[in-house]
């Protein structure tokens, strides 16, 4: 079927792909034909039609069971209306609008028709600002609405987060992304699935302004962009990524291109990176295609896979990561192999020669990426610092004033003595069983592993790109690179 349209600058091949996947989803949801697709009988514009087809083509199947088409049509119309109203609407390229403004979902939150509500809150506060200042102002607003508290529940929706006034980092960042998108600014939730140098994980937000992406700590505003308490840990991360429900072409590194979503790797914007080339073979030395290769770090008393990639027809998988140690495991059809991979190495070969877990004890050390200095940022003036601190105090007072009217709230929301517990999409904090104590994990077969997280060596300095500038070299154990950005330590 030939398609001729200029909607969202999509080429004919992409239009055909979207239409094919839309028709596939429509067949899948035929039992809800009228509830979901009756909206296409309305008098839709070309942009509304293709925006809806795009959302339907890639939306999770459970959303097709849980929500009706009227919700999606309302979302699309309000988003297009906002794009025409905001001063930077025409400056946001179509591909960024489709992937990082139009989507209604951020995490696993319940979907509500919230875009217009959030826009009404923020439009007046941001209309006369630059895009960068609008990002900061939106985060001040988020600070007024919510603060951090650990939880292991399903991600709250933005409106529920506002009503609750507290949430974990995955919920804070869901609110901030939804708020930024409500004023037409491309935004995405990014996260590290697990840290390598300590337990737990974290999620935060990247927002686009006039050609560049910047990061913020959601609901934790700073006086400048690209700054947060997590800046030093991010410089030691092994993976920072996000999931996009689309056939996303980049330009960022693509970790996994699934039929229905794309995962992109943003690590090189924060930390030095290296490529690991893995080859998987059987016991006869024949490359194995379709094997699952898991790249695991030690976190929360277990070896946790931060990424899982399939091997290609040559039995190969390639993963961009940081300068820390990994346990790499491959498995297919019940046969597996694993190796502890050092940051000094760029290649490894796995033989699928095992069927059962071995017995006995295995001891090894896991070396995380080294600490790295951040970029020395231009000093803030006393006036900027005073204005920022005043905004923080005002925001806290607004939020605590609201919370005083919430029955049974107990301790104040500003008590943040506890550690952060969980973050990225679908990643909740692991709860230890009685036999899984920190430092040791009993495997199903009876193998007992004793793992130590040891200090990393200092860093070196090959050239790299990212948000910050290059820093001087220092001797190290491997061709690692020092790179950082302004942030609290």
Give pairs for 301-306: CB < 8 Å, separation 24+.
301/430, 301/432, 301/436, 301/437, 301/438, 301/439, 301/440, 301/441, 302/430, 302/436, 302/441, 303/327, 303/441, 303/449, 303/451, 304/193, 304/194, 304/430, 306/192, 306/193, 306/194, 306/238, 306/239
Question: Is residue 271 helix, strand or coil?
Answer: coil
Bridge partners, 364 (sequence order): 451
User: 290-316, pLDDT tens digit by residue?
Assistant: 999 999 999 999 999 999 999 999 999
Q: Measured between alpha carbons, how far is residue 366 from residues 74, 146, 196, 280, 289 in Å? A: 50, 37, 9, 22, 29
Kindly give, in sequence order, each residue whose CB lies less than 8 Å from that of residue 45, ignoring residues fewer than 6 positions away.
Answer: none
Kindly give, in sequence order, each residue whose CB lies less than 8 Å from that of residue 258, ignoring residues fewer than 6 positions away.
Answer: none
Kindly give, in sequence order, each residue whose CB lies less than 8 Å from that of residue 81, ignoring residues fewer than 6 positions away.
Answer: none
User: 99-126, pLDDT tens digit by residue?
Assistant: 999 999 999 999 999 999 999 999 999 9
Give pairs for 204-209: CB < 8 Å, separation 24+.
204/169, 204/173, 204/228, 204/230, 205/173, 205/176, 205/177, 205/180, 206/242, 206/266, 207/135, 207/180, 208/92, 208/96, 208/100, 208/131, 209/88, 209/130, 209/131, 209/132, 209/134, 209/135, 209/185
d(C-alpha 239, C-alpha 194), whole Å:
8
Split at pLDDT 50, 70, 90, the class of 377 is confident
409, 416 Cβ separation under 8 angstroms = no
d(C-alpha 440, C-alpha 195), whole Å:
17
- Of the candidates 365, 359, 366, 364, the residue with the CA atom closest to the CA atom of residue 442: 359
326, 305 Cβ separation under 8 angstroms = no
Split at pLDDT 50, 70, 90, the class of 452 is low
Bridge partners, 423 (sequence order): none
Token digits of residue 386: 């005073």
Question: Is residue 241 helix, strand or coil?
Answer: strand
**What is residue 150's predicted lDDT score, i.e. its pLDDT?**
86
126: enclosing H helix or E strand: helix 115-126
Q: Is the pTM of this model over 0.85?
A: no
Is the model's pLDDT at 280 over the cut of 90? yes
Query: Mean pLDDT across the stretch 152-162?
Result: 88
Split at pLDDT 50, 70, 90, the class of 343 is very high
User: 46-79, pLDDT tens digit by residue?
Assistant: 999 999 999 999 999 999 999 999 999 999 999 9
Helical spans, DSSP H, in 152-207: 158-164, 169-181
Query: Mean pLDDT across the stretch 361-368?
Result: 88
Burial of 287 (0-12, 13-18, 19+ CB in 10 A): middle
Q: What is the mean pLDDT of the chain?
A: 85
**What is residue 440's predicted lDDT score, i.e. its pLDDT?**
29
Taking the CA atoms of 221, 225, 229 and 230 in sequence, report the sign of the dihedral they define: positive
Query: Mean pLDDT across the stretch 470-479?
Result: 27
User: Within 13 Å and on the Cβ side, how many CA atoms surround 479?
Assistant: 8
Percentage of the chain beyond pLDDT 90 is 76
Query: For residue 327, which phi and psi values (nearest 5 degrees)?
Result: -100, 120
């Amino acid at each position: 079927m030939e398609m001729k349209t200029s909607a969202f600058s999509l080429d004919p091949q992409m239009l055909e792909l979207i239409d094919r996947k839309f028709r596939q989803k429509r067949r899948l949801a035929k039992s809800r034909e009228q509830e979901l697709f009756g909206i296409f009988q309305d008098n839709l514009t070309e942009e509304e039609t293709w925006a809806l087809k795009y959302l339907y083509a890639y939306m999770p199947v459970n959303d097709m069971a849980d929500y009706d088409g009227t919700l999606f049509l309302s979302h699309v119309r309000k988003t297009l209306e906002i794009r025409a109203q905001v001063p930077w609407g025409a400056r946001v390229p179509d591909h960024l609008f489709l992937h990082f403004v139009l989507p209604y979902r951020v995490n696993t939150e319940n979907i509500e028709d919230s875009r217009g509500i959030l826009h009404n809150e923020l439009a007046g506060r941001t209309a006369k600002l630059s895009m960068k200042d609008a990002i900061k102002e939106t985060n001040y607003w988020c600070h007024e609405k919510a603060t951090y508290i650990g939880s292991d529940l399903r991600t709250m929706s933005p409106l529920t987060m506002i009503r609750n006034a507290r949430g974990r980092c995955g919920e804070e960042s869901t609110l901030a992304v939804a708020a930024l998108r409500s004023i037409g600014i491309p935004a995405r939730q990014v996260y590290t699935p697990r840290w390598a140098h300590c337990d737990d994980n974290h999620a935060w937000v990247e927002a686009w302004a006039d050609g560049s992406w910047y990061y913020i700590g959601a609901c934790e505003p700073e006086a400048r962009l690209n700054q947060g308490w997590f800046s030093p840990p991010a410089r030691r991360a092994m993976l920072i990524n996000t999931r996009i429900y689309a056939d996303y072409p980049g330009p960022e590194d693509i970790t996994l291109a699934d039929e229905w979503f794309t995962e992109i790797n943003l690590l090189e914007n924060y930390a030095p990176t290296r490529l690991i080339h893995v080859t998987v073979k059987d016991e006869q030395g024949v490359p194995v295609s379709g094997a699952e290769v898991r790249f695991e770090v030690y976190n929360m008393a277990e070896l946790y896979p931060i990424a899982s990639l399939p091997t290609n027809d040559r039995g190969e998988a390639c993963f961009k990561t940081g300068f820390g140690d990994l346990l790499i495991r491959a498995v297919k059809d019940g046969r597996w192999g694993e190796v502890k991979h050092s940051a000094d190495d760029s290649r490894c070969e796995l033989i699928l020669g095992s069927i059962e877990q071995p017995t006995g004890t295995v001891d090894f050390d896991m070396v995380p990426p080294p600490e790295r200095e951040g970029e020395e940022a231009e000093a803030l003036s006393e006036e900027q610092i005073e204005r920022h601190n005043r905004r923080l105090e005002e925001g806290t007072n607004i939020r605590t004033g609201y919370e005083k009217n919430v029955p049974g709230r107990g301790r104040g929301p500003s008590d943040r003595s506890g550690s952060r517990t969980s973050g990225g999409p679908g990643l909740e904090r692991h709860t230890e069983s009685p036999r899984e104590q920190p430092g040791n994990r009993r495997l199903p077969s009876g193998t007992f592993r004793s793992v130590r997280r040891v200090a990393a060596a200092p860093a070196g300095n090959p050239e790299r790109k990212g948000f910050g500038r290059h820093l001087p070299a220092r001797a190290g154990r491997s061709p690692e690179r020092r790179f950082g950005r302004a942030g609290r330590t």
